[in-house]
Chain A
């Protein structure tokens, strides 16, 4: 009987395609938008992920997130190092400045200053040269995405990516690109410059305090949360494990911006539109086929059989629509030059699939109601 149900559905091509396309676009929005949102959220704590070696992040108590830090005096570094259980602690600068490119253009960039000795905080993957080259005179590294886009240099032959050997001007000081690194893009999508902590002080001569964070490695066997609490109580600073800092950054970002509202509204609207369109079309489709359901009922098909027939129709529509929608979302997410990026997680797929399934099940329920209430004697009426 399922085969008959599916043939009935596929024979009504217009309504079938209408329902599938409606669910496909609903699925597209319900998976693509959360995936983009997840990608944006990831960017807010990208630096924490990039510096995975640090167990604990120490910061000024007024710092809210990795994007919004408050500089501390260097003396705080010694305080942190003196807490028992700390294997090592290094400074990290996170700030921003303006950079003049070789073609004379000025671009706002993020600046990461890493410990001169250990280079902890520098990106792990360098596309050209080695991170150790940061110790060279005037050396900076740039992130690959920034080098290829915002920092691209205008030449007589057009634009070219900023590359090794290019000279920059930072606060009237010369800087030379010694490497191009892979790094997680930041929320602001700024190009990132990496240099040593001591060179940050040269670039920011007017600033007395440039230490944004102290990165701490716990001694083996130390409980990270316990050590963080100890650091906080002994130094008066805020100390968080990497996981806690990531969560705090995320929460701060969600609270401070209305982005979740924007994405939520779009997703809700797509759900409502998908539900209304699919519901109406499925209802109309069943209305068209009501006489045939009546014939089946008269011939002895019981309510359970008819219910399963309609459910199988609904599931085919849902499956096809969801598959098409997710397929379109994946194509969009893999388009070259996509500035937003996507993180299409199994959770997003499950929630999107659940939403589409609920739309079709509610639509099917309305149709099932019509069929179950149907008086089979209608088959004897013209």
Chain B
């Protein structure tokens, strides 16, 4: 993924808010990149643009060679459905569906037959260690288990990019570590890239690189060790 000169402005004139101010960023295949920075620095806006669910005001974002900003709404949705997986801070599992049904949603969006989607969803749940919870309702699962269901959902259609928004912030330390181990283990295989927005300095070591954002700009891109000693993200946690 190559983002070049990304800008995002909300509003016009004197009251305009600049969420992104010329972000250049590249994510390689098989890489786990973390986006860190204080609240309001533009992390969520950047990940939304990277995932193709928010239009930048200026700049381009190419995923697998496809300029997302050049795609119309429908083909962009189809591109997302095939190539991008999502993990959310609040899990965003549908309480009306079982764990397996939740996991099968991306496949159903891609048009897979229900039976095949359910079979693959059960396999994905097995992969994240929840093979015995396929029929459970999200409300019956712990926070850590729900996040693992969400990870299975992000993986089930074998996307090339997974974007995660604060995947550990709602979990205790032990569960957060388990979730990150899982993401590291299954999230970057087969050349898949993983972009994680986080405040949680305890999970920095799971990343390959960390991009630090401040006031809509990428201020530094470096290794986990460098980020841990930087005052920016550490002070935000």
Contact = CB atoms under 8 A, between A and B. Distances in A.
Given A4-B94, A379-B92, A300 B109 contact: yes
A261 interface: no
Interface string A1-42: 101100110111000000000000000000000000000000
Contacts of A302: 73-74, 77-78
A112 B106 CA distance: 76
A12 B79 CA distance: 31
A377 B82 contact: no
B72 to A, nearest CB: 11
Interface in A345-382: 375-377, 379-382
A11 B94 CA distance: 10
Interface string B100-129: 010001101110001000000000000000
B88 A299 contact: no
Contact of B101 (A7, A10, A295, A298): A7
Contacts of B97: 4, 7-8
A291 interface: yes
A291 B48 CA distance: 16
Contacts of A291: 92
A376 B96 contact: no
Contacts of B78: 300, 302
A298 B94 contact: no
A296 to B, nearest CB: 7
Contacts of B175: none
A11 B54 contact: no
Interface residues of B, number: 32
B207 interface: no
Interface in B56-93: 73-74, 77-82, 84, 86, 88-90, 92
B23 to A, nearest CB: 16
Given A4-B101, A298-B80, A377-B48, A292 B86 contact: no
A303 interface: yes
Given A4-B105, A4-B108, A299 B90 contact: no
A305 interface: yes
Give chain A's interface secondary structure class. helix
B109 A301 contact: yes
Contacts of B84: 300
A295 B108 contact: no
Contacts of A11: 95-96
B105 A298 contact: no
Contacts of A3: 114
Contact of A299 (B95, B96, B106): B106
Given A4-B105, A291-B92, A301-B109, A380 B77 contact: no
Given A4-B101, A11-B95, A291-B92, A381 B44 contact: yes
A299 B86 contact: yes
Given A4-B97, A380-B88, A381-B44, A296 B105 contact: yes
A299 B114 contact: no
Given A303-B73, A380-B48, A382-B90, A298 B96 contact: no
